[in-house]
Amino acid sequence: MRLRVRSWRPLGILASLILILVVVQLLRPVPPIQLRTSMPATLTVPGPTAHIPWPSAGQSALAVAGVGMVGTSGTITPTPIASLAKMMVAYLILKDHPLGAGQNGPQLTVTPADVALYQSDAAGNQSVLPVAAGEVLNERQMLEGLLLPSGNNVATMLARWDAGSLSAFVAKMNAAAKALGMTQSHYADASGVDQATVSTAVDQVRLAEADMANPVFAAIVRLPQATLPVAGVVYNVNADLGHAGIIGVKTGSTTAAGGCLVAAREVTVGGTPRLVIGAVLGQGGLQPLPDALAAGKRLMAAVPGLFAMVHPVRAGQVAASLVAPWTHPVALAVPAPAPGFVGWGGLRASAHVAPTADLKPGKPVAAGTKVASLTLTVGRQTATLPLAAGVAIAPPSLAWRLMRP
């Protein structure tokens, strides 16, 4: 009888150990479902790289409004920009004194001091708008005189009207440049005749995009001519207007700056009009401004073949997975249709996957549950897509919980 009791004692101990092990296994925390990204953070848009007919001299830049910089040529360093400075004058005037559709704005009466300014600028062989004492010009007419014949005297008149003095207005120009991210620009005057007024092709493209977003500015710079009270018919210096689809923007030329041009045209991509802006600075030679115009025309003529709707990811492409140790990984695929962006071959894009649902330990995930998001960024274009579980994830089984290592 004693031998029988002793033989059961080890079995009791073993049973106790097994019971303890079962309890421990059941009480152990279940590991959470992990979200693992399988898509690289940086993507390259497939397709051939766009061939851009850059000028052989100076510096240039090309961008798509709302998308970003396509490319640059030459050394991007601050250089005199001549009358391109007037784009900033117009930007500030329309910002401080906005005009609606059909509005002409407040009126300015030309003073004897304004006439003296005109005569002085004309004597210096500058581009000017003829004015007479007592002449009344509204804001829209002043902007036409600023942007079409590129009146240096009008730039100074507008500066004094807006800020009280030229120096105060120049300070506003530099503050606006900083706010627009024009980090390599400095304004020393309003007209650009001062060679200390400098910028880059990249900064001028950035400013032109902000200007062209204003419908009043965009309407004025595409005018071939305008009629003003004293000056009569004035013509747009931009001889490229209407050629190669060009709808603006501004020319500039001095000995220090050479020939300069900022040009814009619209191109339809994916059924939507897109504004493309190019800047050409520092064109030399015997005819610097015609050289800049010719370079700008070649650049804009090539625009329609440069861009298309691109797809950095394809529908069904796996962007991430849900991983749980008690089951097979569950793929999270890009939904159909995959988004398209305005772009070109070789354009860099970024991808970021982030969880959007609380993946709790041991809790099931139903098929179709949106558990994460994929954010794609192409230039300044962004799209966020939901990522859903392709199949359900059941909670861990009792057998798995008992047998897990």
Q: Active-site positions?
A: 83, 86, 150
Location of structure tokens 């965009």: 218
Report the topology of domain 59-306: Beta-lactamase (3.40.710)
Question: pLDDT grade, residue 24 (50/70/90)?
Answer: low
> Any idea where the domains of the chain sit in the sequence?
29-45+311-403, 59-306
Instruction: Tell me which amino acid residue 285 is.
Output: G
First to last CA, the chain: 40
299 near 56, Cβ under 8 Å?
no
Question: pLDDT grade, residue 93 (50/70/90)?
Answer: very high
Which residues, other chains included, contact 254 with Cβ-Cβ below 8 Å and sequence gap of 6+? 80, 82, 192, 193, 195
With a cut of 90, say whether residue 139 has pLDDT above it. yes
Position 26 scores a pLDDT of 61
Question: pLDDT grade, residue 1 (50/70/90)?
Answer: very low
Q: What mean pLDDT comes out for the span 160-164?
A: 98
Query: Tens digit of pLDDT for each residue in 243-267?
Result: 999 999 999 999 999 999 999 999 9
Query: Tens digit of pLDDT for each residue in 275-323?
Result: 999 999 999 988 999 999 999 999 999 999 898 898 888 899 999 999 9
Instruction: Tell me which amino acid residue 253 is.
Output: S
Task: Encode the chain in three state secondary structure.
Answer: CHHHHHHHHHHHHHHHHHHHHHHHHHHCCCCCCEEEECCCCEEECCCCECCCCCCCCCEEEEEECCCEEEEEECCCCCEECHHHHHHHHHHHHHHHCCCCCCCCCCEEECCHHHHHHHHHHHHCCCCCCCCCCCCEEEHHHHHHHHHCCCCHHHHHHHHHHHHCCHHHHHHHHHHHHHHCCCCCCECCCCCCCCCCCEECHHHHHHHHHHHHCCHHHHHHHCCCEEEECCCEEEECCCCCCCCCCEEEEEEEEECCCEEEEEEEEEEEECCEEEEEEEEEEEECCCCHHHHHHHHHHHHHHCHHHCCEEECCCCCCCEEEEEECCCCCCEEEECCCCCCCEEECECCEEEEEEEECCCCCCCCCECCCCEEEEEEEEECCEEEEEEEEECCCECCCCHHHHHHCC
Position 401 scores a pLDDT of 74
Per DSSP bridges, beta strands 42-44 and 59-64 are unpaired
With a cut of 90, say whether residue 57 has pLDDT above it. yes
141 near 105, Cβ under 8 Å?
no
Token couple for 348: 């860099």
Position 3 scores a pLDDT of 46
Within 10 angstroms of residue 165's Cβ, the number of other Cβ atoms is 11
b vs e for 337-366, b when ≥16 Cβ sit within 10 Å of the residue's Cβ?
ebbbbbbbeebebebebeeebebeeeeebe
Instruction: Return the higher-pLDDT residue of 121 and 12.
Output: 121
Query: Tens digit of pLDDT for each residue in 353-403?
Result: 999 877 777 788 889 889 999 999 999 999 999 999 988 988 888 887 788
